[in-house]
Amino acid sequence: MQAKFIGFGAIEIDGNPYDYDVIIDKGKVQKRKKKPSKVYRDWYGHTPLSIDETIPWGGKHLIIGTGANGQLPIMNEVYEAARERGIEVTAVPTDTACKLISAKRKGKVRAILHISC
């Protein structure tokens, strides 16, 4: 799977452009639905990644792209849920996350990519 951070607000996955946050689950790309996390926005100053969202659990590794400047807050409950499942979480700026995704086999990729801030 080839992922490329184009710039603030834009990524490309396997040649397809996206201008919104995405979830990748075993190589399948879908839009991240942030609405369940919006209730926490005032606490963080930004809509965080919360356990209330759809998270691609499974496998041994979850890559989280935290945005162009690494500003996506990740709630502690996400890390706790991953630990309970034996999943390693790598949370890095989205350009770095795209490089990690590109190094993995398509069917093994589980990721959440935030494309702004």
Q: Which pLDDT belongs to residue 28? A: 96
Beta bridge partners, 61, equal 88
pLDDT of residue 61: 97
Mean pLDDT for the chain overall = 96
Mean pLDDT in residue range 91-113: 95
With cut-offs at 50, 70 and 90, classify the pLDDT of residue 38.
very high
Do the beta carbons of residue 39 and residue 27 sit within 8 Å? no
pTM: 0.96
Stretch 94-113: mean pLDDT:
95
106 phi/psi in degrees, rounded to 5: -50, -50
Give 48-97 pLDDT, tens digit per residue.
999 999 999 999 999 999 999 999 999 999 999 999 999 999 999 999 99
Inter-CA distances, 92 with 15, 36, 64, 98, Å: 22, 22, 6, 10
Tell me the domain boundaries of the chain.
3-114
Give me the pLDDT at residue 24, please: 98
Is it true that domain 3-114 has CATH number 3.40.1230.10?
yes
